[in-house]
Structure 1
Amino acid sequence: MKQASDSIIIDTRGIGLVEVTRPIVDWLAAQQITQGLLTIFCRHTSASLLIQENAAPAVKRDLARFFAELVREDAGYEHDDEGLDDMPAHIRSALTNVSLSIPVVSGAAVLGTWQGIYLFEHRRAPHRRTLALHVVGE
């Protein structure tokens, strides 16, 4: 059994989805593990991870708009240390995922034809986000 771990840095431009599939699958390929499990972990409380369609750009815009309407910034939250988008970002992160587990078969992440891996930035300002990667297998 082999395993490897690393981290990648993703710069965001504010609220929205940033596709991170390419750097993750490139890292995975370099590990030379043919069968196993890939775990991706977002090391932040105001950003999250999703597997979502990567063909139609409207999907990303619709998801961002849906979450903005679902968790409004003007709800009078007590926690607003870093601005009005602070607590809504934490709630949006809690409603999604901070980690993903993806099977590895024949050295590749088992993703569907239209699936991509996304970092979902929940803050309005640009941020530098860290994703921890870990793969275990043979």
Structure 2
Amino acid sequence: MRHHATTFAFDTEGPGMRDITAPVADWLAGTGVTTGLLTAFCRHTSASLLINENAARAVQGDILRWLDRLAPQGAHYDHDDEGPDDMPAHLKTALTGASHAIPVIEGRLALGTWQGLFLVEHRARPHRRHVALHLAGD
């Protein structure tokens, strides 16, 4: 079994969902692995990874608004070291997760027809976010 690893850097523009499926799939294709398991890991506590619908853009807006309702900004948090969006961003990451394991079948990510891998920025200002990939397979 072969192992491959890399890290991608993505610039965000504030809250939003960025579809990172294509660059991840392109990297996978370059490894020559046809069967295996890809792990994607977001190296931040205020950004996360989601697998969700990549066809209807309204889904992204609905998800972001839902997260805002679950973890609203406000003075009710003790942790606000980096501003009022700091603790809500950590909560949103706790809800959505930092990693996903995706099977690789016939050299492709085994995502469903309408699924994509998204980097989700939870902070109000732009950031450079890093996503680590590890692939094990043949």
Q: What is the TM-score with the length of structure 2 in the denominator?
A: 0.98
The whole-number CA distance in structure 2 between the counterparts of 1:70 and 1:95 is 9
3-state secondary structure, aligned to 2:134: strand
Contact between 2:75 and 2:84, CA under 8 Å: does it hold in 1?
no
Partner of 1:80: 80
What do the CA deviations read for 1:40-72 (whole angstroms, capped 9, x no partner)?
000000000000100011000111011011111
3-state secondary structure, aligned to 1:123: coil
The whole-number CA distance in structure 1 between the counterparts of 2:130 and 2:72 is 26
3-state secondary structure, aligned to 1:124: coil
Give the superposition deviation at 1:75.
Answer: 4.8
- Point out 4+ residue stretches in structure 1 off by more than 3 angstroms: none
Give the superposition deviation at 1:17.
Answer: 0.6
Partner of 1:122: 122
Partner of 1:4: 4
Partner of 1:22: 22
The whole-number CA distance in structure 2 between the counterparts of 1:59 and 1:12 is 19
Q: What is the TM-score with the length of structure 1 in the denominator?
A: 0.98
- How well do the aligned residues superpose, as a CA RMSD in angstroms? 0.7
3-state secondary structure, aligned to 2:92: helix
- Same amino acid, percent of matched pairs: 54
3-state secondary structure, aligned to 2:37: strand
Give the superposition deviation at 1:16.
Answer: 1.3
The whole-number CA distance in structure 1 between the counterparts of 2:75 and 2:45 is 19
Partner of 2:110: 110
The whole-number CA distance in structure 1 between the counterparts of 2:14 and 2:66 is 16
**Runs of 5+ unmatched residues, structure 1:** none
